[in-house]
Amino acid sequence: MRLKDKVAIITGAASGIGKACVVKFIEEGAHVVATDINEFSLDELKTVHPTIKTVVGNVAHLADTQRIVEAAIDAVGTLDILVNSAGITPRNVGPDATLEERWDAVIEVNLKGTMLMSHAAVEAMRKAGSGSIINLGSIMGSVGYPTTLPFTDGFNPYPSSKGAIAQFTKDLGVRLASEGIRVNAVCPGFVYTSLTENVTQNPTTHKTMTELHPMGRLGEAKEIAAVIAFLASEEASFVTGANWLVDGGYTAQ
């Protein structure tokens, strides 16, 4: 088990890639602290995986991020790994939201939330002299949405939030390298999760999304979790400041 006795905080843990990370990290022997804003789904997760500790919180709020890290240390005594999986798209904000409200909400969760959680975690990791942070980026941090998909008019905040994650990962990774703390990002292609469910249910859009990937399919959350587990482990001990594309060949075209 590559993460045996490691302590990991996983944000956005109640669904999608975060939930898949909870399952994978338990399999790999980690002590998991799962956090999410959705208390009901978090309670369901705890029922299925009773060994985890759950903390309800909003990663975009400074006090919550500090409380999440403190809860992990109080429960297990240290912190080795942070997985910043919490994220939203404009579709999560609501149909009546203004352009400004959608932009602010996505940037606040995806970028500010990643920064705040990382800042709180780094303080704990410094005391231990080591650590690993894995951010959730996206292929949309490297390319624009194709015109064949109805996701953007050029003012969708999601690509900008994920492009910023890529740069944040590089900058923080370089800064913390000498302190034994590694920072990397995983950048998935289109994956079957609750974030994509409302568009993959449209047969035409689903077909277009599938054809954009040379492998001829979308990814599964567990496939992304497997790469995250590798980056969290000592097997990736010489990897930092890197943005790992896990996209079925999407960006290689």
Q: Determine the angle formed by the axes of helices 16-27 and 221-232, rounding to 10 degrees.
A: 50
3-state SS class at 132: strand
Phi-psi region of 89 (alpha: psi -120 to 50; beta: other; left: phi over 0): beta
Determine contact, residues 15/42, Cβ cutoff 8 Å. Answer: no
Choose, from 145, 158, 192, 250, the residue flagged as catalytic: 158
Return the closest-CA partner of residue 108 out of 61, 51, 68: 61
- Spatial separation of the C-alpha atoms in residues 107 and 77, rounded to whole Å: 32
Q: Is 250 a catalytic residue?
A: no
Going from the C-alpha of 159 to that of each of 88, 91, 110, the distances in angstroms are 11, 14, 10
How is residue 3 written in tokens?
Answer: 């993460």
Identify which of 104, 113, 204, 117 has the alpha carbon closest to the alpha carbon of residue 158. 104
Q: Active-site residue numbers?
A: 158
